[in-house]
Structure 1
Amino acid sequence: MPPDTHTVIVNGTIVTGDGSTLHERGIVRIGGTRIIDVAKGDTEVGTGAFVVDAGGCTVIPGIINAHAHGCIYGPSMPSGSAPVRPVDVDYFRNRHLLSGTTTLLNVCGLALPDEIDGPSTVRHPLDIHLTTAHTASNLAAAIAIDGAGLSERHKIARIDDMVDKGAKALGEAGGGQTLGGGAQDYRFIPAAIRAATGISLHPKAARALKEAVLGRYLDRSLPDLPRLDALLIETRLAPQITASDVVHLIRETVMPPVALSLKGFDEIAAASERLSFPAIFHNATPTATTLIKLAETFPKARIIAGHSNHPMFLADEAVRFGLELKKRGVAIDVSTLDCIETRWRNNAANIDALVEARLVDTLSTDFAGGDWDSILSAIQRMVRKGQLSLPAAIGLATGNVSRIFPELAGDRGLLERGKRADVVIVDNHNLGRVRHIVANGKLAVFNGAMAAGQS
């Protein structure tokens, strides 16, 4: 379908993305790359149009995912690790698109603009952008934990230049790699344990060991030895390594980048206020108090508390910190992680608590070691459980994101005349079932399959 084709979507339920508007039956007209009309009821289709029958379906704006990883070809994660394998980049991009995402912000933070698509001359229909966290402390934190993907040109890059070259937000300030979070549980601690003992450790066991040694806030001065001894028996590590050696190993694995990463928070917040630019921060138990202080110190900074349902929080803590951040003008993001359907490491207690407390502004995936669940599966769950109305739930991943990240998505996120024609058609009974996608006016997915030449 060429971009100048007049496309008409008929017979569907229309949810516009503004958080409140729903038309039980309506029509969306697309001309070229723009939406030219949205109306309720039935109207004349006209001649010469490409008609998409959305009967039995809901028509929504394309999902905007403003906190994702693994979708570009540069250094990966806030640890500046080696790039994700190209075959996996392709897989993650296709997964995001086929689950309804049409715009994605890759927040690893240390890649450069020419690494969004790498050497490829073919543009993926998923509109992919990046962020910048190129400050001295963030780069030093990355090098302290890994930094294998950083070349000299990454190390000398700085925020102002990156913004001039098209970065859409600052961040992600900090990450699980540099702040003792999920990536320590699924990557760094298991690797260190395996190197020391030859034993492979499940991420849940790695998290439990970490918390026994350092606490959930990374502030424990002495380990919980009874708990640690019990865990060593449970994990069958006891014959292979002593408790004191585990304490040393975990401290040496987790803590080296932490102070540097927290200093990087200050640098990103100051830059956000100076540039009036959105800034995404790793929100978890070791950083929530820091974020509150930064919101007070830099009141004009545009702070987004990323994945505020982080598993290091207890549910009541997530809500308490969310309330304090929200009072200070911070936008509250929650991520699907693997807690909606997969549930390999995480559960939905924290996201449920934040949604039910009406604290959530935006909904993203994050990465979760590649196990992330789709945004629409989370929206389906919210609606099915009666946590939010359908328009309010859709708004978390469309209109709200365009409002909080106008540099990324100010021209999209709403089914409205003049907006970019990113439109997703999903099953009425299960919003996670994506049938058709129009991305920038082109039919990118039809009947659940990517259009020829789109992958």
Structure 2
Amino acid sequence: MDIVIRNGALITGDGKAFHKRATVYVKDGRIADIQIGNAGTSDEIAARTIIDATGCIVIPGIINAHAHGCICGPSMPSGSPPLSADDIAYFRNRHLLQGTTTLLNVCGLAMADEVYSGGEIHHQMDIRVSTAHTLKNIQAALAVDGRGLSVPHLSATIDEMLASGAVALGEVGGGQTLGGGAQDYRFIPEAVLRETGVEVTPATARRLKDAVLGRFLDQAGGMSDPMLEDELEHAGLSTHVTTERIREIITRSVMPSVALSLDGFDEIAEEAERVGYSAIFHNAAPSAKRLSAVVEKHPNARIVAGHSNHPSFLPDEAVSIALDLRSKGAVIDVSTLDCISTQWRNDAANLDALIDVGCVDTISTDFAGGHWDGILEAIHRMVRKEQLSAQAAVALATGNVAAVFPQMAGDRGLIEKGKRADLAVVDHVNLSRVRHVVIDGRVAVRNGVPV
């Protein structure tokens, strides 16, 4: 045997199985055998690597199917320039140390060969890309930024991308193109700073955006001038900009890409139905109605409603919209964002509401401006709050994700004989504490340190 993991408890990833004691055998990158209870010692003695999981639980490696910032190509659905090499390395290692073994970077407009830069050593995680290369999605990116896009990005097709290694479609829409989180933490603050010389926080940017455009970006929920003046006073902007001018700034930052991005929903749904790959959609207050119509119109497309706990929803809205989408066949994904422990801009109210009604299929991180909380942090919280059993919670990030994205993860996500040996060994008291990680049958993290 190459690796034997012994003396630990075992959660297989199917949502049901939990064994108090088991031994997992790994050979040639695959799970060679699993023995429940006390195992023999002959194979253990012959193993090249023995991992003692006493006091720990062995789980499948986390499959994160909605992340950003981990590839060297254009970033985000806005087609922005790539992030710095230091940031990319940092984000990759954070995911790895949070137990992630497979990661789908859903910026959507990078090429499949842009996961790495030339000559860069491949990371231990299996990092894949998605594709949103349709006319309206590219136009939406150009309307808000697009400075990272070149001729190959602009001319690529869905079929070409899938043939070259993309494993899913999307993300359709995004915080940049549909007035979401990236407008709060990046584009609106940049626009306000240019116009006024005043730096505003993401929370202030969100309040100003909602005050001008409303949560649904229809302006019907926007504030009157006196109320907006109060918001400007609260933000320290009343002496720097008029209500009329702030309306212009916010509208110019947010709205040019919105209609284009929503039209991109139909394009990607049609493509998903045609090619049979899963497609990830931006589910938020401004896009929920369009997404519901798209799911209904394309029943044969496997549509994933991304971050269905989006902060633009009120908790009751998040639940009613998710229930509607699920009844029509959509997969309901939630994201940790920064709502578990960081709580930079978001809290867990919407996540809790969806978990409590049993309306969650998968969990991811998304990006949250680079401040996302780990998936296992959310899983530990669900178990501690007795919202879900450990088995059911772990399945949201392992076996369930593998079933939704078979082209990416059909050979992993479960601890069973013959599956790819992607495993994490976590503390049995706090599931978010990752001790060891095995990827494709090789130790990638040992005692909390990347190997």
TM-score over 0.5 for the alignment? yes
Q: Distance in 2 between matches of 1:252 and 1:450?
A: 44
TM-score when normalising by structure 2:
0.98
Tell me if structure 2 keeps the 8 A contact 1:17–1:413. Answer: yes
Percent identity of the aligned residues?
A: 57
Q: Partner amino acid for 1:285?
A: A
Q: Partner amino acid for 1:78?
A: P
Q: Distance in 2 between matches of 1:206 and 1:281?
A: 24
Residue of structure 2 in register with 1:261 after alignment: 261
**Which residue, 4, 8, 15 being the options, matches 1:8?**
4
User: Deviation digits for residues 281-301 of structure 1, max 9, x if unmatched?
Assistant: 000001111111111111101
Distance 1:222 1:43, change over 3 A: closer
Shift of 1:38: 1.6
Q: Partner amino acid for 2:354?
A: L
Tell me if structure 2 keeps the 8 A contact 1:435–1:447. Answer: yes
What SS class does the counterpart of residue 230 from structure 1 fall into? helix
Residue of structure 1 in register with 2:33 after alignment: 37
Q: Distance in 1 between matches of 2:28 and 2:52?
A: 19
Shift of 1:222: 7.5
Residue of structure 1 in register with 2:78 after alignment: 79
Residue of structure 2 in register with 1:107 after alignment: 106
Consecutive unaligned residues of structure 2, counting only runs of 5 or more, are none
Q: Distance in 1 between matches of 2:154 and 2:117?
A: 18
1:327 equivalent in alignment to 2:323: no
Q: Distance in 1 between matches of 2:367 and 2:135?
A: 25
Residue of structure 2 in register with 1:385 after alignment: 385
Q: Partner amino acid for 2:41?
A: V
Residue of structure 1 in register with 2:69 after alignment: 70
TM-score when normalising by structure 1:
0.97
1:22 equivalent in alignment to 2:21: no
Tell me if structure 1 keeps the 8 A contact 2:333–2:364. Answer: yes
Distance 1:137 1:220, change over 3 A: same
Q: Distance in 1 between matches of 2:41 and 2:173?
A: 50
Shift of 1:37: 1.0
Q: Distance in 2 between matches of 1:227 and 1:16?
A: 54
Q: Partner amino acid for 1:278?
A: S
Shift of 1:118: 1.6
User: Deviation digits for residues 120-179 of structure 1, max 9, x if unmatched?
Assistant: 342111100000000000000000000010011110011111011111000000001000
Tell me if structure 1 keeps the 8 A contact 2:272–2:301. Answer: yes
Consecutive unaligned residues of structure 1, counting only runs of 5 or more, are none
Shift of 1:227: 2.7
Q: Distance in 2 between matches of 1:93 and 1:31?
A: 26
Tell me if structure 2 keeps the 8 A contact 1:309–1:354. Answer: yes
Residue of structure 2 in register with 1:273 after alignment: 273
Distance 1:313 1:222, change over 3 A: closer
Q: How many residues align?
A: 447
Residue of structure 1 in register with 2:400 after alignment: 400
Q: Distance in 2 between matches of 1:413 and 1:221?
A: 45
Q: Distance in 2 between matches of 1:222 and 1:68?
A: 31
Moved over 6 A (4+): none
Tell me if structure 2 keeps the 8 A contact 1:8–1:45. Answer: no
Q: Distance in 2 between matches of 1:327 and 1:163?
A: 29
Residue of structure 1 in register with 2:138 after alignment: 139
Shift of 1:39: 2.3
Q: Distance in 2 between matches of 1:441 and 1:121?
A: 22
User: Deviation digits for residues 384-432 of structure 1, max 9, x if unmatched?
Assistant: 0000000000000000000000011000000000000011000111111
Q: Distance in 2 between matches of 1:201 and 1:413?
A: 42
**C-alpha RMSD of matched pairs (Å):** 0.9
